[in-house]
Structure 1
Amino acid sequence: MATIVQTPSGKWKAVIRKHGWPTATKTFRIQKDALTWARQVEVEMDRGVYIDRSHAERLTFDKALSRYLSEVVPTKKPATQETDRYCAEPLRAYFGKYSLAAISPDLVASYRDKRLTTPIQRVDRATRKPRILLDPVTGQPRTLSANTVRLELALLSHLFNTAIREWRLGLVRNPVSGIRKPSPGEGRDRRLRGNEEARLRHALTSYSNPMLGWIFDIALETGMRSGEIAGLRLHQVDVRRRVVRLTITKNESARTVPLTRRAAEVFALALDNPTRPEGCDLVFFGEPGRDGKRRPYTFAKVWNGIKTSLGLGDLHFHDLRHEAVSRLVEAGFSDKEVSAISGHKSMQMLKRYTHLRAEDLVDRLDAAEAIKAKGAPKEKST
């Protein structure tokens, strides 16, 4: 039976003591609310479905997110950690003051809709002030992509799953599971066009650090991801046998990547880098950090600056992987062979990277027609 008492501060405290259940208490400003809560809890106890939500009601999203970032995120891969920390900021700004128990599917849906209409802003290098990016075709403000919002919702969902399964906070359900997710994009199909490859190679090889040009060539020759290239250790590269052994990959499946002659030549230059510090086993190494340790060479800022200066702002480094895999398909490699090189587990995912140029297909159709015409038997004259 519930006991309702008034506290010295004038509030109303409901206390429920029931055999087989821990004591449940909660304080309200109005006596009516205390009575309503007590009746609801007693019914749930009678049905055997009562869950103590007090921890989730006291814990704000801001504190829960901080705990998630300090305990869970460090266990993920470095690239995922960076993405999670980036996605965490808008989530903190929107949900920070809410308790975990107060975050409902309706609130998450409102966040989704707001983010899908949020203009993209970048800091102007000249004025140091944020500016809204405009679509070059329509002239309208560019908004966040559906994939960006999906990543943010995925982080939010995993936080709630962790709170439910690991932290045992008494949450009834994950509010993200009750909403519609934005449709995923079709995927990028950007290829190098015209003299873009030559212009990029000239600019990158002219840069003071030769590792930038080597990384560009290796990406284009092997189709490896930027993180796979940057994290390479000396023992993983076998120039004589022309293979690279990858142990840490995006899909957690180790693979051996065969090297073209050009890729082997570039790796040979990288392994013989005269500026390599003694004891450093990274193929592409950066400057030592505050702790004195050297970490993989971070080239994103320089890469972005160079490609933008060449008018190639729409080109992403990951597009080089798309280019490399597409070239393998155009060279006649089977899907299975391409998958073994690129590391794609899903054939459906591989199709995103194998959009062939229409003009190349036209040439192949012409060649097929020529072979067909040459081999067709001539009609007998009557």
Structure 2
Amino acid sequence: MAQIYKRGKKWRAQVRLKHQSRSGTFDSKIEAMAWAVEIEQELGKDDGIISGKTLGDAFARYAKEVSPSKKGYRWEIVRLNKLMRAPMADIALKELRVDDIQRWITHELTRVQASSVNRELNVIAVVLETARKRWKWIATNPSRDVERPRNPRPRDRRISELEIQRILDALEFNDGEAVKTQRQEIAVGFLLALETAMRQGEIWGLNWVDVHLRQRYITLNETKNGTSRNVPLSSRAVELLKMLKEQKDGVVFHHPQRSCGVLFRRALKIAGIRNMTFHDTRHEALTRLARKLDVLDLARMVGHRDPRSLMIYYNATATEIAERLG
């Protein structure tokens, strides 16, 4: 089993296995753990299953070799780093049991919601399956038999017109004027999300070559479900995009998504708005669009392969439905 410890500003890794010992010094803990994983693999082969690996070793190798190839790797790396700090990470893979994961679940449920636990369980499951199929570190995947907690009901947060205006005021946005600041650019992204139901990552990943203002649609080449789609634009959405500096090529939103997310959350505090996230714009937009489009067109526009999944986001109030009844 490898020993990883910090010495000054460097990380030291030492591997002892089968009467053999190797060591190395690295700039980061992940580099040290990844190196130790490779050395243990080299020294510990036994009947096709590589011994001497811990769950933490599996997290480290997955973070180095697999996660960077994924679109949403940044958040996966965050989760993997958190999981590497959990006591469960020190358990040898050959000794890891369902009960170990179940105890981790019970502990995490005292700190975070069931939905967060299930997202981390997804990471644990895929890491263990990779360790079983690709790396041959374990013979079975204990996560398959884990009893998962039940997710809470989907969020039904709506955004009122008053809240929209307060957010725009906090972002110093003047409707109809050319965008000059990062805050104003965020405001355009926020309003565009309400018009199109596009996700935050989809909006901040836009390139002008994929924006067709005359034909009134946007082409999304990379989406959450891995397929491309065309998003039709309302006249209001076209107006919003024209407030930005249109080019033949290049990114539509020039400021990084991460810093824009920080500024948006600050704007919510300035506006005195609680219990709201940028993703709530998708709920609001889908509910509004459902009044204008039939279910199949709506599903195609927002990228839902199964129209039934739209019910997760559609949150019309009873009063709004009653008004349509006349």
TM-score category by the smaller chain? 0.7 to 0.9
Residue 134 of structure 2 aligns with which residue?
166
Pair 1:105 & 2:74 matched: no
State yes or no: 1:92 paired with 2:84. yes
Q: Kindly indicate whether the alpha-carbon contact (under 8 Å) linking 1:330 and 1:356 is maintained by their aligned counterparts in 2.
A: no
Partner of 1:126: none
Residues in 1 aligned to 2:103 and 2:54: alpha-carbon distance in whole angstroms:
19
Partner of 1:199: 166
Find 2:121's aligned residue among 125, 130, 153: 153
1:374 match: none
Q: Which position in structure 1 is the counterpart of 2:12?
A: none
d(CA) in 2 for partners of 1:352 and 1:64? 34
1:16 aligns with: none
CA distance in 2, matches of 1:103, 1:173: 10
- How many residue pairs match? The answer is 276
Give the conservation status (yes or no) of the 8 Å contact 2:221–2:228. yes
Question: For 2:231, what is the secondary structure of its paired residue?
Answer: strand
The 10-residue stretch of structure 1 (149-158 or 87-96) with the greater mean CA deviation from structure 2: 87-96
- 1:175-218 per-residue CA deviation (whole Å, 9 max, x = no partner) reads 11111111122211110135111111222244942211111111
Indicate which of 238, 247, 250 corresponds to 1:281: 250
Alignment of 1:318-329 (within 5 A): 318-329=279-290
Separation of aligned partners in 1, 2:127 and 2:119: 12
Please state if 1:309 is matched with 2:270. Answer: yes
Distance verdict in 2 for CA 1:163–1:313, change over 3 Å:
same
> 256, 260, 280: which one pairs with 1:299?
260
Q: Does 1:240 align with 2:209?
A: no
Distance of aligned partners of 1:302 and 1:296 in 2 relative to their CA distance in 1, 3 Å threshold: closer
Code of the aligned partner of 1:60: T
Which structure 2 segments of 5+ residues have no match?
1-16, 20-45, 174-179
Residues 245-270 of structure 1: CA deviation (Å, up to 9, x unaligned): 11100011211111111110111222
| C-alpha distance in structure 2 between counterparts of 1:316 and 1:345, whole Å | 24
- The alpha-carbon distance between structure 1 residues 251 and 82, as it changes in their structure 2 partners (threshold 3 A), is same
- SS of the residue corresponding to residue 244 of structure 1 reads strand
Partner of 2:144: 177
Aligned twin of 2:36: none
Distance across 2 between alignment mates of 1:296 and 1:86:
17
The Cα RMSD (Å) is 2.2
2:198 to 224, 241, 249: 224
Partner of 1:55 in structure 2? 50
Rounded to whole Å, the distance in 2 between the matches of 1:175 and 1:311 is 46
Measure how far apart 1:113 and its partner are. Answer: 0.6
Question: What residue identity is the alignment partner of 2:164?
Answer: E
Q: Say whether residues 1:115 and 2:83 are aligned partners.
A: no
- Structure 1 stretches of 4+ with a deviation exceeding 3 A read 51-54, 205-208, 295-298
The CA deviation at 1:55 is: 2.1
Structure with bigger gyration radius: 1
RCO (CA 8 Å, sep 6+): is it higher in 1 or 2?
A: 2
1:131-150 equivalent positions in 2, closer than 5 A? 144-150=112-118
Cα distance change on mapping 1:216 and 1:205 into 2, 3 Å: farther
Paired residues of 2:58 and 2:128 also in contact (CA < 8 A): no
Partners of 1:280 and 1:66 in 2: CA distance: 38
Could you tell me how far apart the structure 2 residues matched to 1:301 and 1:71 are?
Answer: 29
Q: Is the 2:246–2:252 contact (alpha carbons within 8 Å) kept by the matching residues of 1?
A: no
SS in 1 for 2:91: coil
CA distance in 1, matches of 2:63, 2:210: 31
Q: Per the alignment, in what secondary structure is the counterpart of residue 330 of structure 1? A: coil
In 2, Cα distance between equivalents of 1:298 and 1:219? 17
Note the 1:350-361 alignment, pairs <5 A. Answer: 350-361=310-321
Unaligned stretches of 5+ in structure 1? 1-24, 28-50, 119-143, 274-278, 287-294, 368-382
- Give the partner amino acid of 2:152: G
Calculate the TM-score normalised by the size of structure 2: 0.79
In structure 1, give the amino acid aligned to 2:119: L
**Deviation of the 1:297 alpha carbon:** 6.9
